[in-house]
Structure 1
Amino acid sequence: MASQYEMNTAGERVSAPDTQVQKSAVEFPSVEDILSDSTALPPRLPTERTDSLPAEEQTNLLTSLQEILKNFEGENEADVEAFKDVRSILDKLWSCDSDYLVQAANVLANGSRNPSWRLPYGQSGILDFFLRLIASSEITDNELLLHSLRLGGNSCADTDENRLTVVKDNYTLAIIRHLLNPGLTQVVIPVLYNICMDFESAHAQVAENRIAYILSKLIKDGVFSDNEALLDYSHELIELAAEQGQGVESSPDGTISLLLELAADKKTTFSQSSCVVNSLVKYLENERFQHVCISNGMVERVLSVLQRSLSLEVNRSSVEEAKALVQLQLKLNQTLAELSGSELFAKFYPLESPIFQILKSWLTASEDQLQICSCVMLGNLARSDEVCEKMVCDLGLHKELISILKSDARGGVLHSSLGFLKNLAIAGNNRQHLGNAGIIPAIAPLWGYETVPQVQFAATSMARQLIVSSYENVTRLLEALPEGDASAEKPTYLSLLLGLFEKTDSAPIKTEIGRSVASICRTLIPKAKESETGAPLDSLFSLHEHIARPIGAMITQTQWPVVRSEGWFALALMASCKQGTLAALDCLQNMEAYSLLEKTLSASDSDSATEMEKVQRAKDRDNTIILVKELLSNDGVLEEDWKASLEGLMNDHVSRHLKGSEDS
């Protein structure tokens, strides 16, 4: 099913779904289990701290460190060599397990707020020292860890070289581990944010370290509930991680359920909701998470997220927020389209399921996005003749869709409705039921819907679908327009299509109209020859002077060889009846088809042509030979110059090909 929201497998014909399916269990590992599962630990400081220094010497070390920093206060640049002395002091304070290390960390963390000191911190090894300290599991002093984390976060702000130091040995994992410490969460989150901002390598690493699951779990458990700033940072980090495919792949199955829970939280701000929904969409692009979502009854929760998006409070004065909301809804609808396009979807959500009732009710919703969602998802359920016939004959969904076409619905809704109807029209006797319900008068105004070309094309394509092997719908297309219609100068519905053909520059629309005319000929001409009733055929040619010109567009287009062959066949069929001869000649004369007729008849198979090309040429040649013979058989209709031209073709080319066929 085609629509503004591309549907993965709509229209496929598959066996009826097996409704005997089992839901799988979704696991929600604790944050402790997630972090303990990580085996690749970054380098740490030496665990042996046996050096002994007198208290006075420890004091002197701290004083020396403070003096070095004081010397650089107010300087635009710091001396890397002098900062290397700081690293040496830190190593000594660590080795003797000095209490002064906390003060040293505090002073250095304060200094890291100076942008000019950040790079020297990294180049001199100061950052490395504190990263190793953060990774050392035996450290239990929260104050020391707090200052170490502050230094790490400040040093990485807008400093990619230092960020690379963090990422190179996976120190983000060591930092994430401290989320288990309630006394440090208020600093761990901003530190991770500083490391990740505008640095793709860090995004990828924290994603692989499963930060999206960890933060989603912590938010869900209320860890940050009293701190709006931490919630903002956390939601942004979740979104950054969701953009990394490898990180998504490594996330536990329960991630999708956590994201759905966060998306349903009415306390979240618009920016937070936006982060969560964007993350949800990214996760549901992954096949594993699609299966988790479908097989565990979560699709209804995704529908709820879409419905909730309609009531999200945005700053109406902000153009950016308004655009973001629209994009959010489009992404959700696209995601739901992909979910419903999965073969699993029909197994877990048959027509008897509650979700079907929700979608059915949305067909008459006042919100565009809900109507679009309904058409797309129900259209993807319409993948077997049995389901399509039930939707029409038992449930009457086509009547709701036709009502939409007759309303003042916007382009997106019209387009998705037409896509759904086109799916329904493929099955069994559904075309007849659609015709009885008045679909042709409903789609006719949409042939002039120029503001959204996709709607115009879909409505044109719908007309062709309706008349395939349907004599009743063909005759409906030949019916006169109602009195008072704005297009009353056009005598029939088909006249409106032909008027669109003359007006449009769209090659696909021209081709669709041509295929519709070809389909009409395939239905009416054989039937007229079999019976004495030729009234519809007479109307076809008497009321539509240039009826064959759309077939000329099929013949002269170069994109689809099969369509060209279909055009030659239709033109030959048209020429086989007396009423159609003049129309066929009009096509040859006015659609540049005569020169192509000559070229087709005179062409010989090239050695370089593929087997498929040779078969296609032979088919075209056979159809053009039939065309010439049929035209000449209506001798009394042809003018002398046309008769001479066609006889020339017969003598020069047709006879040769016919002789060649006899010889072979």
Structure 2
Amino acid sequence: MMQRDFFGELLAIIAKDRAEWSTPELIDEGVAAILADNPTDDVAVLAAGVVAQAGREEERRLKFSTATLDALCVIYLRESLDEVGLHHLNRGIGNLLVDNEAQRIALLEHDAALDKIMANISSQDEDLAHSSISVLINLVMDFPRGQQKVVEKKGIPLLLKRIENGTLTRPRALQLLSVLVQNEYACDKLVSLSGIDLLLDCLPAFLAEPDENLEHAIEILETASENGIVQKRLYARQVHLVLLEEMEKLVNQEINVDDDDYTPILDACLKVVVNMTHNDEVVKGMITEKATLGKFRGWMTYPGSILSGKAEDLVMCACLCIGNLARSDKNAASLVNDHQFAKYLLQVLNDCKSLKVQFATLSALRHMCIPAENKAYLGHLSVLEAVIPYLKSPTPDVVLTSTVILRHLSSEDRNMRAVIYSNSGDGTALSAALEATEKHADTPAIQCEVGRLLAILIKTAAKSNAIDPLTKVCSNLAPVWNLLTLPYPTVYGEAVLALSLAFAHYPTPSDIAVPESLATAAPELFQPTLPAAVRANAAQLLLVVQTVHPEWAGRFDDVAQAALGNLPQEAVEMDTTIYDQLTTVLGKIVAHAASE
């Protein structure tokens, strides 16, 4: 269709003597003036067409003030305008809204005009309905106030009706809905109006003929699948199986045509399936599905050449989902012992060079390392040795997750010794973890996890009365002492216990260096919010420190006095044994200081 010359027609009607309107700036200025002068319908429509054309260029679009939009909104309310006129006014209004918050705010102030635009979504005139939806897309894009307003004006049911009717405006309706559901209120509305079921009813047809309808529908499901109710609804309809098949089909098509341009549909499908596995009720069902677990197993066992190439999104999806399925100890034990997924994860870790897949794999292994019944077996599979190279990664999240794996496994005696002594060619796991604290000195989470790793190594060694391993760990206790200075009170108990065990079992306790930071950290160890048992152990540690190191005598006097002063008000709630222990040890600290 030939594009109309709106400006030429406009000049032909009212501006034959305005030949000086030869530049875009003068055109835009003149059209804005015409709109502000209460023009006739014909002139207003032509002027709106000029605004729409000018609005395609950012530089020209930004020269129109909100007064131009105000004028278009006033004209929009005229009952004399037909569908064609309203369509062109929509185009003018819509283009002014693009990336312009001031114009968007101005439209929100024209409530009646916005109501009429909303109503025109239901117009039988396809062009008018299409342009009305386009106005709203430009209004709500990255603009929460606009999203909220459209939802409040019952935009969701209007769009669902448009989608259900299967008209030519369906793609635009789906696109608008995909933006609106980013608003939590809109997502709730979509669920309450059975919009998810409508999309799922349409999904087979969209999958049969993939186009923008499918892309927008999957985008909607991607956002909505963060909602717990939606997750359960998707599972009830077995959507994950449909999407897993679609993902595999998309990847196979790309492999066959050697096309590296991954479709956004694949990424959205992945996120929907992974989001579903965040729901505990969904996980209960999915963990028993042979088809689902079989699909994940198949993706993890692709040949190495595939793992590092086009199928990596499938592998990552499988690893992320298995990791989420393994969040409970029971499931983690089943996935390791009944389904052998630890072996498959290690295969991926060895074969795949993609950082995102490696991280997903490590995350899944982290969950599998938690149950006590898995620890010895995973150590036997050489998980510890496989993780060592990732402790040297420049990526903090990879280092952090690898350290957590070591910490979980180190509560088992054989694994504890492997962490300390086994050398894979990259050094021991312990040495690699200590190096990580230096390389990532600005990442508190890594400092914390390495300290916790050393703490559990000490605890396991002490429990087994393994003096040599304990002595090896105690040669560098700085990360454990450092735990007491970090803003993570929940780990103070681990640090205090480990340090107390170190002093109790180390052959020459006086050789254990005490950092100056303990003086600053000591008051934090007696916060009333900390468990009483932790405070009791902390008091015992301070007493040991000033006993073993006479130079520390008296340095905890004020801390002990303050802690003693706070105890009486806790006497009723605190366990009697711990209360007596805490009172006694704090008293000894003060008495010891006085005797010195």
Match of 1:645 in 2: 551
Equivalent AA in structure 1 for residue 432 of structure 2: L
In structure 1, what is the Cα distance between the partners aligned to 2:74 and 2:182? 32
Match of 2:25 in 1: none
In structure 2, what is the Cα distance between the partners aligned to 1:619 and 1:605? 9
Q: 1:327 to 1:617 in 2, by over 3 A?
A: farther
Equivalent AA in structure 2 for residue 587 of structure 1: A
1:466 pairs with 409, 412, 418, which one? 409
1:404 pairs with 341, 348, 361, which one? 348
Give the match's secondary structure for 1:587. Answer: coil
Deviation digits for residues 49-77 of structure 1, max 9, x if unmatched?
xxxxxxxxxxxxxxxxx999934567625
Match of 1:249 in 2: 188
Match of 2:161 in 1: 214
In structure 1, what is the Cα distance between the partners aligned to 2:456 and 2:69? 78
> What is the deviation of 1:121?
10
Q: 1:149 to 1:416 in 2, by over 3 A?
A: same
Match of 1:279 in 2: 220
Match of 1:127 in 2: 76
Match of 1:587 in 2: 513
Equivalent pair of 2:121/2:132 in contact (CA under 8 Å): no
Match of 1:517 in 2: 454
Match of 1:95 in 2: none
Equivalent pair of 1:248/1:283 in contact (CA under 8 Å): yes
Give the match's secondary structure for 2:188. Answer: helix
Kindly indicate whether structure 1 or structure 2 has the higher relative contact order, using CA contacts under 8 Å at least 6 residues apart. Answer: 1
Q: 1:174 aligned to 2:103?
A: no
Q: 1:331 to 1:657 in 2, by over 3 A?
A: farther
RMSD: 4.4
Q: 1:401 to 1:580 in 2, by over 3 A?
A: farther
Match of 2:496 in 1: 568
Which structure: larger Rg?
1
Match of 1:377 in 2: 321
Q: 1:473 to 1:286 in 2, by over 3 A?
A: closer
Equivalent AA in structure 1 for residue 164 of structure 2: K
Q: 1:330 to 1:626 in 2, by over 3 A?
A: farther
Q: 1:192 aligned to 2:133?
A: yes
Match of 1:394 in 2: 338
Equivalent AA in structure 2 for residue 129 of structure 1: R
Q: 1:433 aligned to 2:377?
A: yes
> What is the deviation of 1:441?
1.1
Deviation digits for residues 330-370 of structure 1, max 9, x if unmatched?
55544433321112202442323422322232223422222
> What is the deviation of 1:217?
3.0
In structure 2, what is the Cα distance between the partners aligned to 1:604 and 1:150? 68
Equivalent pair of 1:571/1:627 in contact (CA under 8 Å): no
In structure 2, what is the Cα distance between the partners aligned to 1:111 and 1:571? 80
Equivalent pair of 1:440/1:463 in contact (CA under 8 Å): yes
Q: 1:479 aligned to 2:416?
A: no
Q: TM-score, normalised by structure 2?
A: 0.71
Equivalent pair of 1:568/1:623 in contact (CA under 8 Å): yes
> What is the deviation of 1:571?
1.9
> What is the deviation of 1:267?
3.9
Equivalent pair of 1:175/1:188 in contact (CA under 8 Å): yes
In structure 2, what is the Cα distance between the partners aligned to 1:466 and 1:394? 20
Q: 1:560 to 1:151 in 2, by over 3 A?
A: closer
> What is the deviation of 1:397?
0.9
Equivalent pair of 1:212/1:255 in contact (CA under 8 Å): no
Give the match's secondary structure for 2:222. Answer: helix
Write out aligned runs for 1:303-452 (5 A): 303-304=244-245, 306-307=247-248, 310=251, 332-365=269-302, 366=307, 367-450=311-394, 452=395
Equivalent AA in structure 2 for residue 213 of structure 1: L
Match of 2:538 in 1: 620
In structure 1, what is the Cα distance between the partners aligned to 2:222 and 2:284? 22
Match of 2:231 in 1: 290
Match of 1:537 in 2: 467
Match of 1:500 in 2: 436
Q: 1:241 to 1:552 in 2, by over 3 A?
A: closer
Match of 1:113 in 2: 49
Equivalent AA in structure 1 for residue 377 of structure 2: H
> What is the deviation of 1:466?
0.3
Q: 1:649 to 1:300 in 2, by over 3 A?
A: same
Q: Percent identity, aligned pairs only?
A: 15
Equivalent pair of 1:172/1:206 in contact (CA under 8 Å): no
Q: 1:539 to 1:125 in 2, by over 3 A?
A: closer
Equivalent AA in structure 2 for residue 128 of structure 1: L
Q: 1:356 to 1:110 in 2, by over 3 A?
A: same
Q: Which has the higher helix share?
A: 2
Match of 1:37 in 2: none
In structure 2, what is the Cα distance between the partners aligned to 1:650 and 1:286? 51
Match of 2:588 in 1: 658
In structure 1, what is the Cα distance between the partners aligned to 2:419 and 2:205? 52
Write out aligned runs for 1:14-163 (5 A): 70-71=13-14, 76-77=30-31, 83=38, 86=40, 109-110=45-46, 112-115=48-51, 122=71, 126-130=75-79, 146-154=83-91, 156-158=93-95
Equivalent pair of 1:498/1:513 in contact (CA under 8 Å): yes
Which structure 1 residue ranges, 5 or more long, are not aligned? 1-65, 88-104, 134-144, 225-229, 529-535, 632-641
In structure 1, what is the Cα distance between the partners aligned to 2:179 and 2:488? 44
In structure 1, what is the Cα distance between the partners aligned to 2:17 and 2:186? 43
Q: 1:510 to 1:156 in 2, by over 3 A?
A: closer
1:549 pairs with 478, 502, 511, which one? 478
Equivalent pair of 1:153/1:195 in contact (CA under 8 Å): no
Equivalent AA in structure 2 for residue 216 of structure 1: I
In structure 2, what is the Cα distance between the partners aligned to 1:626 and 1:335? 55
> What is the deviation of 1:326?
8.2
Q: 1:172 to 1:576 in 2, by over 3 A?
A: same
In structure 2, what is the Cα distance between the partners aligned to 1:295 and 1:192? 32
Q: 1:586 to 1:231 in 2, by over 3 A?
A: same
In structure 1, what is the Cα distance between the partners aligned to 2:51 and 2:555? 86
Equivalent AA in structure 1 for residue 126 of structure 2: T
> What is the deviation of 1:417?
1.6
In structure 2, what is the Cα distance between the partners aligned to 1:74 and 1:612? 85
> What is the deviation of 1:126?
4.8
In structure 2, what is the Cα distance between the partners aligned to 1:67 and 1:481? 83
